[in-house]
Chain A
Amino acid sequence: MNRRIIKGGRAAFTLVEAIIGAAVSSIVLATLATGSIALMKSYNASEDYSTAQADQLRVLDYISRDVRRALTVTVTATPPKLILTLPDQYAAANPNRTFRTPTMTTQGTTLGATYGTTPVTVSYYVTGSTFVRNENGALTVIANAVADFQPVFDATDPAAKTVNTALTFAPIFRRFLSSDARTATRLTSRAVMRNN
């Protein structure tokens, strides 16, 4: 580019040059800003997805752990809630709980082992933005910020031996509001009630 030298003055860009330069810079900056924002959104969405998956896994592990040792299971549809009764296997409250020695009693036509006298009631459900485990009224938050979690509990196994749990969430980086986006996040677990 040729710069015209004005007598007694200093070299400078013409107005046109300055305008073109500003326009090009604006475009570059806008592109960078848009890219950065998209990158941040994608990063946040990925982290949210990853966190939700970890939450899903933990919630299902909690549920499976209790279903395996459950004596009975009940499901309510609205709100979705899984209610279990567990063996009364600890002799004292936290933190120094000791394991009881079971007694053998006739249960129907077979002989079963019974721990304690009062089975423990445990339920799982979403309340507000948390997923909780409720043990005889004592709440334990097992996942935070999961208001979008939708559990489906299924204890309709004719043999009354298995409990299926499906858990979905709403990913935030979906392009369109589609049920497919939630469906794709479905994680399921089937646990066998070993005392049935």
Chain B
Amino acid sequence: MRSQAEARHSGGVLVVTLLTIVVLSLLAAHVCRIVTARTRTFYQAASWNEALSAADAGADLAMAALRASDWTGWQGPDANGVRTLQTPVLTHGGEGNATFSALVKVDSPSGSYYRIRSTGIAQLAGAAVASYDKQDNRLRHLSLRSDRDSGTKINGQSRVARAIEVIARGANAYTRALLVSKSFNANNSGSFADSFDSGDPAKSTNGMYDLTKRQSNGNIASIDSTGADLNGMYIYGNLSYSGPAIPNTQNVQGKIITPFVQNIPPVPKPSWTTVTANMSTISTSTTLKAGTPGSPTRYKVSDIKLAKGAALTFSPPAAGQPGAVEVWVPGDFTTDGTAQVITQSGVTVKIFTEGQIVLLGNAVLNQSNVAAAMQFFGVTPSDGTTRSAQVGGSAEFIAVLNAPAYDLKINGGGEFFGSFILRTVSMVGGNTAIHYDEALPRSGGILWTMASWTEDVR
């Protein structure tokens, strides 16, 4: 039998043991609390950074839509001209959060650029508890129990959102019927500009312009309107300009937007190191064979001066196959009378001319019937001088003319399908119709690039 003293000693051991366990448990709990808080802080930081990736991805989707001019899957535009895309919620494995998404809104406040606002949203892992550090909370703006922007309850879906704003500008200006850096002078109210979409049966017939399906995106813009006069020309679209007020704009069916700022990239001289063939002046009927679209043939021709009845034909690499060909003309490109430049069906042609360009009568026969298949470029002189170009003579011209250093004279009217970038344009005699092909941006003729990037850090 144990004595009373022995019994007291046993009780003491028990108390000491229990106290030790309690102390150790408290220490362990404290360590766990610290470790959990730190882990949560790092997970929240990871989610915060992932939200930015999601926002960037949303902006990329908007840029892709702009470049393709394809808004499939987007909502709107609404009454304020805002298009909206809610991306699917994507999931991923690994530790920490598992889902993220983006809400993207695109509008064009001034008509000269697009504003992309993308909010990336990433789920927060773990309990809806603020970070251990106040400075973290100030930086990361977590939505733990209610959304920080809307104030609505989020029912256990704690998350972090980051919003960015990207301004997109058109590095290439095939977004309008006509863009000039200086003046634009129409001649009468019988001339007009409108639009169609060669790739949309609702806006064209067999890829061709159809008056009954006319669209109102035949926009015309001038960076410096000094000396410009619309002379009552009908514009089924917007007129944008900077500089003095343009007179006689009563028949503009869309908006008149001023000021207008746009960068027109110069057309650089080709810097080819190898060519398919170096050729002297072409003046008689000649056929140049195209390569494949991925490997176009390249011809350097000193001048092209097609005599009456002569034809310069661009043929596909094989019958029925698509092809591409590029021509560099350091001198002039002129046609005389009934001479023709023929682009056979399926062939895409790019002609870079450094001298003057004269295309009269039905000088251009584009058998693909889409402007993107026939692209004329007027090379911007390095010395800052200007060049001249002339088209007309009741021409039917399905092409793109990108010559920002050229003064174009449209003589005797004609019907033009495509898009035009020039220094000045003047119409003389006859009626002129410019039908902007809305499919051009989708053909890669335009490149939207980022003019600015910023984050909303409120």
Contact = CB atoms under 8 A, between A and B. Distances in A.
Instruction: Indicate, yes or no, whether A interacts with B.
Output: yes
Interface stretch (B65-73, B347-355, B450-458): B450-458
Interface stretch (A18-26, A76-84, A99-107, A150-158): A99-107
Given A54-B38, A58-B133, A58-B139, A194 B450 contact: yes
Contact of A194 (B34, B263, B453, B456): B453
Interface in B93-132: 109-110, 112-113, 115, 132
Nearest to B453: A194
Nearest to A87: B454
Contacts of B263: 106, 109-111
B344 interface: no
Interface stretch (B40-48, B206-214, B326-334, B362-370): B40-48
Contacts of B455: 65, 68-69
Interface stretch (A140-148, A167-175, A179-187): A140-148
Given A54-B133, A58-B135, A195 B453 contact: yes
A141 to B, nearest CB: 7
A47 B34 contact: yes
A95 B240 CA distance: 37
Contact of B48 (A47, A61, A109): A61
B45 A57 contact: yes
Given A50-B38, A104-B112, A106-B261, A113 B451 contact: yes
Contacts of A87: 452, 454
A104 B109 contact: no
A61 B45 contact: yes
B119 to A, nearest CB: 13
A101 B109 contact: yes
A51 B344 CA distance: 71
B38 A113 contact: no
Given A54-B133, A105-B261, A141-B135, A113 B113 contact: yes
Interface residues of B, number: 34
A61 B51 CA distance: 13
B434 interface: no
B49 interface: yes
B219 interface: no
Residue of A54, A55, A105, A143 with most partner-chain B CB within 10 A: A54
Given A65-B455, A112-B451, A195-B452, A104 B45 contact: no
Contacts of B133: 54-55, 58
A69 B454 contact: yes
A195 B136 CA distance: 26
Interface in B416-458: 450-458
B93 to A, nearest CB: 23
Contact of B453 (A43, A65, A69, A114): A69
A62 B139 contact: yes
Which secondary structure characterizes the binding site on chain B? mixed
Contacts of B452: 87, 102, 112-115, 195
Chain A at the B interface: SS class: mixed
Nearest to B38: A50
Given A54-B42, A58-B139, A113 B456 contact: no
A188 interface: no
Contacts of B451: 104, 110-113
A57 B115 CA distance: 31
B165 to A, nearest CB: 7
A194 B452 CA distance: 7
Contacts of A89: 165, 454, 456
Contacts of B113: 102, 104, 111, 113
Given A50-B38, A104-B169, A142-B139, A58 B450 contact: no
Contacts of A3: none
Nearest to A95: B458
A99 B456 contact: yes
B31 interface: yes
Interface in A87-134: 87, 89-90, 97, 99, 101-106, 109-115
A58 to B, nearest CB: 6
Interface string A40-80: 00010001001000110110011001001100000000000
A61 B451 CA distance: 24
Nearest to A62: B139
B2 interface: no
A65 B458 CA distance: 12
Given A43-B31, A47-B34, A111 B454 contact: no
A104 B136 CA distance: 35
A143 B133 CA distance: 9
B136 A54 contact: yes
14 contacts: A54-B133, A54-B136, A58-B133, A62-B139, A87-B454, A99-B456, A103-B110, A104-B112, A104-B113, A104-B167, A104-B261, A105-B261, A111-B113, A141-B135
9 interchain residue pairs of minimum CB distance: A111-B263, A113-B452, A113-B167, A194-B453, A69-B454, A104-B261, A113-B451, A111-B169, A50-B38
Interface of B: 31, 34, 38, 41-42, 45, 48-49, 109-110, 112-113, 115, 132-133, 135-136, 138-139, 165, 167, 169, 261-263, 450-458
Given A43-B31, A89-B456, 9 more contacts: A55-B133, A61-B48, A65-B457, A69-B454, A101-B110, A109-B263, A112-B452, A140-B138, A143-B135
